[in-house]
Structure 1
Amino acid sequence: MREEITVTAQLIYDCPMDAALTEQSDMIHADLTRLLDADSTTGVACCGVTIQHIAPEAETYGTTEARQLAERQSDRIKDALAAVYDDTEDARSLLIYALCDLRHFADQNGLSFGLNDKAAHQLYRAERDSKTGEVAA
Protein backbone atom coordinates (compact mmCIF):
# COMPACT_ATOMS: atom_id res chain seq x y z
CA MET A 1 0.00 0.00 0.00
CA ARG A 2 1.34 3.45 -0.97
CA GLU A 3 0.55 6.94 0.29
CA GLU A 4 1.26 10.48 -0.82
CA ILE A 5 3.42 12.59 1.48
CA THR A 6 3.64 16.37 1.21
CA VAL A 7 7.18 17.64 1.73
CA THR A 8 8.22 21.20 2.48
CA ALA A 9 11.71 21.99 1.25
CA GLN A 10 13.69 25.17 0.82
CA LEU A 11 15.37 25.54 -2.54
CA ILE A 12 17.52 28.48 -3.52
CA TYR A 13 17.46 29.45 -7.18
CA ASP A 14 19.55 31.88 -9.20
CA CYS A 15 17.05 33.78 -11.38
CA PRO A 16 17.25 36.81 -13.68
CA MET A 17 16.86 39.91 -11.49
CA ASP A 18 14.91 41.82 -14.12
CA ALA A 19 12.20 39.14 -14.32
CA ALA A 20 9.05 39.75 -12.31
CA LEU A 21 8.42 37.40 -9.39
CA THR A 22 5.66 35.62 -11.32
CA GLU A 23 8.05 35.01 -14.23
CA GLN A 24 10.71 33.73 -11.79
CA SER A 25 8.13 31.39 -10.25
CA ASP A 26 7.24 30.01 -13.69
CA MET A 27 10.95 29.44 -14.49
CA ILE A 28 11.49 27.64 -11.18
CA HIS A 29 8.41 25.47 -11.69
CA ALA A 30 9.63 24.52 -15.16
CA ASP A 31 13.05 23.61 -13.78
CA LEU A 32 11.59 21.52 -10.96
CA THR A 33 9.36 19.69 -13.41
CA ARG A 34 12.43 18.99 -15.58
CA LEU A 35 14.20 17.49 -12.59
CA LEU A 36 11.44 14.98 -11.76
CA ASP A 37 12.91 11.50 -12.11
CA ALA A 38 10.33 8.94 -13.20
CA ASP A 39 13.02 6.21 -13.10
CA SER A 40 13.85 6.59 -9.41
CA THR A 41 15.66 3.64 -7.82
CA THR A 42 14.79 4.66 -4.26
CA GLY A 43 11.25 3.29 -4.30
CA VAL A 44 9.73 6.76 -4.14
CA ALA A 45 8.89 9.15 -6.92
CA CYS A 46 7.86 12.78 -6.93
CA CYS A 47 4.40 12.88 -8.50
CA GLY A 48 3.93 16.65 -8.72
CA VAL A 49 5.31 20.07 -7.95
CA THR A 50 3.53 23.23 -6.91
CA ILE A 51 5.03 26.56 -5.92
CA GLN A 52 3.37 27.63 -2.66
CA HIS A 53 5.54 30.62 -1.80
CA ILE A 54 8.34 32.44 -3.53
CA ALA A 55 10.44 35.20 -2.00
CA PRO A 56 13.56 37.08 -3.01
CA GLU A 57 16.69 36.31 -0.99
CA ALA A 58 16.55 39.72 0.67
CA GLU A 59 13.04 39.01 1.94
CA THR A 60 13.97 35.52 3.11
CA TYR A 61 17.20 36.36 4.88
CA GLY A 62 16.77 40.06 5.63
CA THR A 63 19.72 41.01 3.42
CA THR A 64 19.84 43.94 1.06
CA GLU A 65 19.91 43.67 -2.70
CA ALA A 66 20.05 46.07 -5.63
CA ARG A 67 16.31 46.13 -6.23
CA GLN A 68 14.46 47.94 -3.48
CA LEU A 69 11.32 46.50 -1.93
CA ALA A 70 9.13 49.27 -3.39
CA GLU A 71 10.38 48.45 -6.89
CA ARG A 72 9.63 44.74 -6.40
CA GLN A 73 6.18 45.56 -5.03
CA SER A 74 5.52 47.83 -8.00
CA ASP A 75 6.58 45.10 -10.44
CA ARG A 76 4.32 42.55 -8.72
CA ILE A 77 1.27 44.80 -8.75
CA LYS A 78 1.85 45.72 -12.41
CA ASP A 79 2.03 42.02 -13.32
CA ALA A 80 -1.15 41.33 -11.34
CA LEU A 81 -3.01 44.28 -12.88
CA ALA A 82 -1.86 43.36 -16.39
CA ALA A 83 -3.23 39.85 -15.84
CA VAL A 84 -6.61 41.22 -14.70
CA TYR A 85 -6.88 44.00 -17.28
CA ASP A 86 -5.43 42.23 -20.29
CA ASP A 87 -6.64 44.85 -22.78
CA THR A 88 -3.85 47.32 -21.85
CA GLU A 89 -0.29 47.47 -20.57
CA ASP A 90 -0.39 51.25 -20.06
CA ALA A 91 0.46 51.95 -16.40
CA ARG A 92 -1.95 54.90 -16.15
CA SER A 93 -4.86 52.87 -17.54
CA LEU A 94 -4.05 49.95 -15.24
CA LEU A 95 -4.11 52.31 -12.24
CA ILE A 96 -7.42 53.89 -13.28
CA TYR A 97 -9.09 50.51 -13.84
CA ALA A 98 -7.82 49.19 -10.51
CA LEU A 99 -8.92 52.26 -8.56
CA CYS A 100 -12.37 52.11 -10.16
CA ASP A 101 -12.74 48.43 -9.24
CA LEU A 102 -11.43 49.06 -5.72
CA ARG A 103 -14.20 51.63 -5.29
CA HIS A 104 -16.74 48.99 -6.37
CA PHE A 105 -15.10 46.57 -3.91
CA ALA A 106 -15.41 49.12 -1.08
CA ASP A 107 -19.08 49.75 -1.93
CA GLN A 108 -19.92 46.04 -1.95
CA ASN A 109 -18.21 45.53 1.40
CA GLY A 110 -19.63 48.61 3.11
CA LEU A 111 -16.24 50.32 3.37
CA SER A 112 -15.39 53.97 2.94
CA PHE A 113 -12.98 54.16 0.02
CA GLY A 114 -11.91 57.68 1.01
CA LEU A 115 -11.06 56.80 4.63
CA ASN A 116 -9.19 53.66 3.61
CA ASP A 117 -7.37 55.55 0.86
CA LYS A 118 -6.17 58.03 3.50
CA ALA A 119 -4.99 55.16 5.73
CA ALA A 120 -3.21 53.59 2.75
CA HIS A 121 -1.57 56.92 1.94
CA GLN A 122 -0.28 57.19 5.52
CA LEU A 123 1.13 53.65 5.29
CA TYR A 124 2.73 54.47 1.93
CA ARG A 125 4.35 57.62 3.35
CA ALA A 126 5.66 55.72 6.37
CA GLU A 127 7.17 53.03 4.11
CA ARG A 128 8.63 55.60 1.73
CA ASP A 129 10.04 57.77 4.53
CA SER A 130 11.56 54.82 6.41
CA LYS A 131 13.56 53.95 3.27
CA THR A 132 14.84 57.48 2.78
CA GLY A 133 15.36 58.30 6.45
CA GLU A 134 12.98 61.25 6.20
CA VAL A 135 10.29 62.07 8.72
CA ALA A 136 6.71 62.32 7.42
CA ALA A 137 5.27 65.82 7.70
Structure 2
Amino acid sequence: MLVGEKGFYEIVAFAKVRYPGPVDSKGDFEEEPPEGTDMRTLGRWLENMDAYYEKHASYEKDFYLHVLCVHPSSQRQGLGKKLLTRFLADADKEHARVYLQATALGHPLYVRCGWVDVEDMVTRTPEGAAFWKCMMREPGAGE
Protein backbone atom coordinates (compact mmCIF):
# COMPACT_ATOMS: atom_id res chain seq x y z
CA MET A 1 0.00 0.00 0.00
CA LEU A 2 1.43 3.36 -1.02
CA VAL A 3 0.89 6.70 0.66
CA GLY A 4 2.29 10.10 -0.15
CA GLU A 5 1.85 13.51 -1.67
CA LYS A 6 3.04 15.36 -4.77
CA GLY A 7 4.78 12.45 -6.45
CA PHE A 8 6.58 11.10 -3.38
CA TYR A 9 5.25 7.76 -2.23
CA GLU A 10 6.42 5.13 0.20
CA ILE A 11 5.30 1.61 0.99
CA VAL A 12 3.69 1.56 4.43
CA ALA A 13 1.86 -1.78 4.30
CA PHE A 14 1.96 -5.03 2.36
CA ALA A 15 0.53 -8.53 2.39
CA LYS A 16 1.90 -11.79 1.02
CA VAL A 17 -0.89 -14.26 0.31
CA ARG A 18 -1.32 -17.67 -1.29
CA TYR A 19 -4.34 -18.77 -3.28
CA PRO A 20 -5.26 -22.48 -3.37
CA GLY A 21 -3.54 -24.67 -5.93
CA PRO A 22 -0.75 -27.15 -6.51
CA VAL A 23 2.52 -26.64 -4.67
CA ASP A 24 5.51 -26.09 -6.95
CA SER A 25 8.04 -26.00 -4.14
CA LYS A 26 8.22 -25.47 -0.40
CA GLY A 27 10.97 -23.97 1.66
CA ASP A 28 12.93 -22.58 -1.29
CA PHE A 29 14.21 -19.03 -0.94
CA GLU A 30 13.41 -16.63 -3.76
CA GLU A 31 16.46 -14.62 -2.69
CA GLU A 32 19.39 -15.39 -0.46
CA PRO A 33 18.75 -14.47 3.18
CA PRO A 34 20.73 -11.46 4.45
CA GLU A 35 24.35 -11.99 5.46
CA GLY A 36 24.63 -13.15 9.05
CA THR A 37 21.30 -15.02 9.03
CA ASP A 38 21.32 -18.03 11.33
CA MET A 39 20.38 -20.56 8.65
CA ARG A 40 19.80 -23.35 11.16
CA THR A 41 17.25 -21.29 13.10
CA LEU A 42 15.64 -19.98 9.90
CA GLY A 43 15.34 -23.52 8.54
CA ARG A 44 13.81 -24.78 11.79
CA TRP A 45 11.33 -21.89 11.81
CA LEU A 46 10.27 -22.48 8.17
CA GLU A 47 9.92 -26.23 8.72
CA ASN A 48 7.81 -25.58 11.81
CA MET A 49 5.54 -23.16 9.93
CA ASP A 50 5.09 -25.68 7.10
CA ALA A 51 4.32 -28.51 9.54
CA TYR A 52 1.62 -26.50 11.32
CA TYR A 53 0.16 -25.38 7.98
CA GLU A 54 -0.02 -28.96 6.73
CA LYS A 55 -1.62 -30.04 10.01
CA HIS A 56 -4.46 -27.50 9.80
CA ALA A 57 -4.89 -26.52 6.14
CA SER A 58 -4.72 -27.75 2.56
CA TYR A 59 -2.60 -26.20 -0.19
CA GLU A 60 -5.22 -27.26 -2.75
CA LYS A 61 -8.32 -25.97 -0.90
CA ASP A 62 -7.43 -23.18 1.52
CA PHE A 63 -6.19 -19.63 1.13
CA TYR A 64 -3.14 -18.65 3.21
CA LEU A 65 -2.15 -15.27 4.59
CA HIS A 66 1.64 -15.55 4.88
CA VAL A 67 2.47 -12.01 5.99
CA LEU A 68 0.64 -8.78 6.75
CA CYS A 69 2.85 -5.85 7.74
CA VAL A 70 2.07 -2.21 8.45
CA HIS A 71 4.81 0.31 9.23
CA PRO A 72 4.57 1.49 12.88
CA SER A 73 3.94 5.09 11.76
CA SER A 74 0.86 3.92 9.84
CA GLN A 75 -0.62 1.39 12.26
CA ARG A 76 -4.12 1.71 13.75
CA GLN A 77 -5.38 3.54 10.64
CA GLY A 78 -7.22 0.62 9.06
CA LEU A 79 -4.56 -0.21 6.47
CA GLY A 80 -4.17 -3.84 7.55
CA LYS A 81 -7.91 -4.39 7.30
CA LYS A 82 -8.01 -2.66 3.94
CA LEU A 83 -5.36 -5.04 2.59
CA LEU A 84 -7.32 -8.01 3.93
CA THR A 85 -10.64 -6.94 2.38
CA ARG A 86 -9.87 -7.96 -1.23
CA PHE A 87 -8.15 -11.20 -0.23
CA LEU A 88 -11.03 -12.22 2.04
CA ALA A 89 -13.58 -11.34 -0.65
CA ASP A 90 -11.77 -13.70 -3.02
CA ALA A 91 -11.76 -16.47 -0.40
CA ASP A 92 -15.44 -15.94 0.42
CA LYS A 93 -16.34 -16.02 -3.29
CA GLU A 94 -14.73 -19.47 -3.47
CA HIS A 95 -16.34 -20.54 -0.15
CA ALA A 96 -12.81 -21.25 1.10
CA ARG A 97 -11.16 -21.07 4.50
CA VAL A 98 -8.18 -18.81 5.20
CA TYR A 99 -5.30 -19.95 7.41
CA LEU A 100 -2.61 -17.82 9.07
CA GLN A 101 -0.07 -17.81 11.87
CA ALA A 102 -0.48 -14.64 13.95
CA THR A 103 1.86 -12.75 16.23
CA ALA A 104 0.48 -11.27 19.44
CA LEU A 105 0.43 -7.84 17.76
CA GLY A 106 -1.71 -8.96 14.81
CA HIS A 107 -3.99 -11.33 16.71
CA PRO A 108 -6.72 -8.77 17.67
CA LEU A 109 -7.19 -7.68 14.03
CA TYR A 110 -7.55 -11.26 12.86
CA VAL A 111 -10.12 -12.04 15.57
CA ARG A 112 -12.18 -9.00 14.47
CA CYS A 113 -12.00 -10.25 10.88
CA GLY A 114 -13.37 -13.68 11.79
CA TRP A 115 -10.36 -15.88 12.48
CA VAL A 116 -10.41 -18.26 15.45
CA ASP A 117 -7.46 -19.82 17.27
CA VAL A 118 -6.80 -23.46 16.38
CA GLU A 119 -3.44 -24.09 18.07
CA ASP A 120 -0.44 -22.35 19.63
CA MET A 121 2.78 -22.62 17.63
CA VAL A 122 6.17 -22.42 19.34
CA THR A 123 9.56 -22.27 17.64
CA ARG A 124 12.72 -22.53 19.73
CA THR A 125 15.41 -19.99 18.85
CA PRO A 126 18.80 -19.14 20.39
CA GLU A 127 17.11 -16.09 21.97
CA GLY A 128 14.28 -18.18 23.45
CA ALA A 129 10.88 -19.36 22.30
CA ALA A 130 8.92 -17.51 19.61
CA PHE A 131 5.13 -17.81 19.82
CA TRP A 132 2.38 -17.58 17.20
CA LYS A 133 -1.30 -18.46 17.08
CA CYS A 134 -2.40 -20.78 14.28
CA MET A 135 -5.77 -19.38 13.16
CA MET A 136 -8.48 -20.33 10.66
CA ARG A 137 -11.25 -18.20 9.15
CA GLU A 138 -14.34 -19.90 7.78
CA PRO A 139 -16.04 -18.40 4.69
CA GLY A 140 -18.00 -15.24 5.49
CA ALA A 141 -16.83 -14.94 9.10
CA GLY A 142 -15.97 -11.61 10.72
CA GLU A 143 -17.08 -8.00 10.55
TM-score normalised by structure 2 residue count: 0.27
Query: Greater strand percent: which structure?
Result: 2
Query: Greater helix percent: which structure?
Result: 1
Computing the radius of gyration from Cα coordinates, the structure with the larger value is: 1
Higher relative contact order (CA 8 A, sep 6+): 2
TM-score normalised by structure 1 residue count: 0.27
